[in-house]
């Protein structure tokens, strides 16, 4: 099973995204965090409990960019995908410099992130 951890402060969006991931065979959402501190704590406390973290940049408390920084050292098989409504070309580059494997816009790339996660899960198996 390919394990995804979602970091986003919009509960309705997290619920919808969890439902979408649930339609993909072999993928499960293992949890979510709504703020930076909770996300970083969970990711550090569960170093082998996730395969991909999906990170929003704008969190109610803290920043998705600091979550990216905290996850720079991780297993080579673990992926970080940014899914945010606050992207421009400079922010995309910053995310990549901080270790994001992929960057997606919430307003138009939902299908793309689902495909990315599906491909990543297949590549790992």
Q: Domain with 11 in it: what CATH number?
A: 3.40.50.2300
Angle of helix 110-124 relative to helix 11-22, nearest 10 degrees?
50
Q: What is the pLDDT of residues 50-104, one digit of tens each?
A: 999 999 999 989 999 999 999 988 999 999 999 999 899 999 999 999 999 999 9
Q: Domain containing 30: what range?
A: 2-124
Q: Which residue has the tokens 């996660």?
A: 117
The helix (run of H) or strand (run of E) holding residue 55 is strand 52-55
Q: Which of 9, 58, 78 is nearest to 38 (CA)?
A: 9
113 touches 16 (CB < 8 A): no
Residues in the chain: 125
pLDDT value, residue 112 = 95
Residue 49 has pLDDT above 80, yes or no: yes
pLDDT value, residue 13 = 95
Q: How confident is the model at residue 125 (pLDDT cuts 50, 70, 90)?
A: low
pTM of the model: 0.95
Give the count of domains, the chain.
1
């Amino acid at each position: 099973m390919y394990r995804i951890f979602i970091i986003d402060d919009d509960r309705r969006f997290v619920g919808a995204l969890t439902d979408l991931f649930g339609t993909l065979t072999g993928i499960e959402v293992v949890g979510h965090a709504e703020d930076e501190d909770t996300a970083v704590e969970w990711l550090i406390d569960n170093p082998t409990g996730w395969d991909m973290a999906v990170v929003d940049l704008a969190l109610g408390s803290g920043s998705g960019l600091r979550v990216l920084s905290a996850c720079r050292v991780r297993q080579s098989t673990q992926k970080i995908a940014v899914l945010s409504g606050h992207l421009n070309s400079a922010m995309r580059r910053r995310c990549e410099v901080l270790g994001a494997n992929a960057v997606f816009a919430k307003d138009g790339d939902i299908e793309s992130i689902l495909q990315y996660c599906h491909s990543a899960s297949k590549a790992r198996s």
